[in-house]
Amino acid sequence: MRLMEPGREVEVSRDLLPATLARHGVVLIRQGSIAEVRALLDRWTVPVDHPHQVADGLTVIAPRVRLDDCDNEAGFTDLPLSPHTDRSLHAQPPSVLATLMLTPARAGGSATLVDGAQVLALLRRRAEDAAIAGLRLRTATGQPGPPVVEFVPGHARIRYRDDRIAGPYSTDGRADLVAGFRRLASETTRFLQLGAGDGYLVHNHRFLHGRTAFTGGRTLVRFLARVDNDHPYAWLNRGFPIASS
């Protein structure tokens, strides 16, 4: 298995993986296996459970359902998934997410990635942090959810989705900020075509991920985890660093 910096043909040492993830928010996987990714994560993270998992923190994602009124299982279809934070509505979303492609789609199925740190930096050029902090998620049933951007001293954490389960709104009536976040996320989306054995690790508090629609039996595995509390990079569980406004 090879680990690569995004956008460069630079291989990442396994010992430097946490530092590289902290710096870039994403690390690419090439020629990997489930056992190798699991062993890599076990060195510095703890699995986070998911209702659909088949093993600790590990879920197989492949088309198996057709949706009616609820798309909480949209991942298990061939439909597109808009860029989102995994477990966005939960009190403590996992900080590390990894995917590994087992069987690529016959057509389509590109992975999509959005750097939330870039989106936030652009949004902060036009609004104060207090106004951005008013962006929240609201469920389809009208229940208020967590903040889209959670500011803590020196760090920020993003949790985002925009689908039939929940979407962003502004508690201050700033529809322009909601539209601005959506537009910036769309404009900064990156597309990755993953072959068998390819994948990525992302800082789930920073990077949004999704996919385009596809045909064929696309199958991948997803790992959810948080950084071990005793690890030097356990601060990734709080978010990503930001400069003061």
Model confidence over 152-169: pLDDT tens digits?
A: 999 999 999 999 999 999
Handedness of CA 23, 117, 183, 219 (dihedral sign): positive
Tokens of 187: 């404009």
Q: Does 65 have pLDDT greater than 70?
A: no
Question: How remote is the C-alpha of 200 from its chain's centroid?
Answer: 10
Q: Does 66 have pLDDT greater than 80?
A: no
Measured distance CA(83)–CA(86) in Å, rounded:
10
**Residue predicted with more confidence, 67 or 103:** 103
Phi, psi of 136 (to 5 degrees): -140, 165
Q: Which residues contact 203 (CB under 8 A, 6 or more apart)?
A: 21, 22, 25, 26, 95, 96, 236, 240
**Number of domains the chain is built from:** 1
Measured distance CA(172)–CA(192) in Å, rounded:
36
Measured distance CA(169)–CA(8) in Å, rounded:
36
Mean pLDDT score of the chain, rounded to an integer? 95
At 133 the pLDDT is: 97
Report the pLDDT averaged over residues 36-40.
98
At 68 the pLDDT is: 56
Q: Where residue 93 sits, what CATH number does that domain have?
A: 3.60.130.10
SS3 call for 72: coil
Tokens of 188: 């900064």
The helix (run of H) or strand (run of E) holding residue 64 is none
Domain that residue 153 falls in: 2-241
Predicted confidence band at 74 (pLDDT cuts at 50, 70, 90)?
A: confident
Measured distance CA(245)–CA(158) in Å, rounded:
17
Query: In terms of DSSP H, where are the helices of 60-108?
Result: none
At 245 the pLDDT is: 46
At 160 the pLDDT is: 98
At 8 the pLDDT is: 81
Share of the chain above pLDDT 90, in %: 91
Strand-by-strand arrangement of the 240-241 sheet: 149-152, 155-158, 240-241
Predicted confidence band at 67 (pLDDT cuts at 50, 70, 90)?
A: low
Residue 40 DSSP code: H
Share of the chain above pLDDT 70, in %: 96
Report the pLDDT averaged over residues 107-135.
97
Measured distance CA(23)–CA(198) in Å, rounded:
21
SS3 call for 155: strand
